[in-house]
């Protein structure tokens, strides 16, 4: 839930909500903003800690893809994803929906997330807005509990001749400094920025990013 910006919109629509986040710093901001929802400090990779059938719906914005990272040696992305989806499925009432917006790095990551959701019992699929746009493209995992519903159509999915686009194109621009296992090369600028971002999400103090971040120093004479 971060600082609760999306929660404000949910409150304006007349709904009650409970937000979860792994970052104490982000939740502190939400408390300072006096959001109307209840806040829980938790790692969704450990599961959703609520009783069965408690919620009528679930919304997640740019969070699920972080479960694909192994921040600790004990972390297994497939297990953490399954734990999240299986407990989410239990916490949702029958006939409810979950919409999770995410930014997958590649098609393999997208398939892993979708497979674990379906394994947990969900039905539904992926909806992509503007699949051929580098900036406007957004992925939405639309899930149903119980009876399968109709997936909405993604924005910008119609071609000039009326045909629809069902697949999104991935580029390698963001992964040019990654090794064969899909991880950023150790000590590279991308590796350092990713590590700093993880620490920020954990609420730790991190130096600001500058043009000198990750730059190698010349040897001294």
| 26 inside domain | no
Domain that holds residue 139: 43-145
The CA–CA distances, whole Å, from 216 to 77, 177, 188, 194, 211 equal 32, 16, 9, 17, 12
**Locus of tokens 């929906």:** 97
Those residues whose C-beta lies under 8 Å from the C-beta of residue 128, and which sit 6 or more positions away, are: 137, 138, 139, 140, 154, 157, 167, 168
Whether residue 129 sits in one domain with residue 70 = yes
| 23 inside domain | no
| 193 inside domain | yes
| 156 inside domain | no
- Whichever domain contains 50, its CATH number is 3.40.50.150
| 27 inside domain | no
pTM: 0.69
Q: Residue 173: its pLDDT value, please?
A: 47
Q: Residue 80: its pLDDT value, please?
A: 93
| 203 inside domain | yes
| 166 inside domain | no
Whether residue 191 sits in one domain with residue 139 = no
Q: Residue 177: its pLDDT value, please?
A: 47
| 101 inside domain | yes
What is the number of domains present in the chain?
2
What CA–CA distance (Å, rounded) separates 83 from 191?
27
Whether residue 137 sits in one domain with residue 190 = no
Q: Residue 175: its pLDDT value, please?
A: 45
Tens-place pLDDT, residues 79-122: 999 999 999 999 999 999 999 999 988 888 899 999 999 999 99
Q: Which residues in the chain show pLDDT less than 70? A: 158-186, 218, 220-221
Q: Residue 215: its pLDDT value, please?
A: 77
């Amino acid at each position: 839930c971060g600082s609760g910006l999306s929660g404000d919109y949910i409150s304006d629509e007349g709904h009650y909500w409970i937000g979860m986040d792994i970052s104490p710093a982000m939740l502190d901001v939400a408390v300072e903003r006096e959001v109307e929802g209840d806040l829980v400090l938790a790692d969704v990779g450990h599961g959703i800690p609520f009783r069965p059938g408690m919620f009528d719906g679930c919304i997640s914005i740019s969070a699920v893809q972080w479960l694909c990272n192994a921040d600790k040696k004990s972390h297994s992305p497939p297990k953490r994803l399954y734990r999240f989806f299986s407990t989410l499925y239990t916490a949702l009432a029958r006939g409810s929906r979950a919409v999770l917006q995410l930014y997958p790095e590649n098609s393999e990551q997208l398939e892993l997330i979708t497979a674990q959701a379906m394994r947990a019992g969900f039905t539904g699929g992926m909806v992509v807005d503007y699949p051929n746009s580098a900036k406007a493209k957004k992925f939405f995992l639309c899930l149903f509990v119980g009876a399968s519903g109709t997936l909405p159509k993604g924005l910008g999915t119609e071609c000039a001749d009326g045909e629809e686009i069902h697949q999104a194109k991935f580029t390698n621009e963001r992964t040019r400094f990654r090794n064969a296992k899909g991880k950023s090369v150790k000590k590279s600028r991308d590796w350092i920025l990713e590590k700093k971002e993880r620490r920020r999400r954990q609420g730790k103090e991190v130096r600001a990013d500058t043009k000198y971040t990750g730059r190698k120093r010349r040897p001294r004479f």
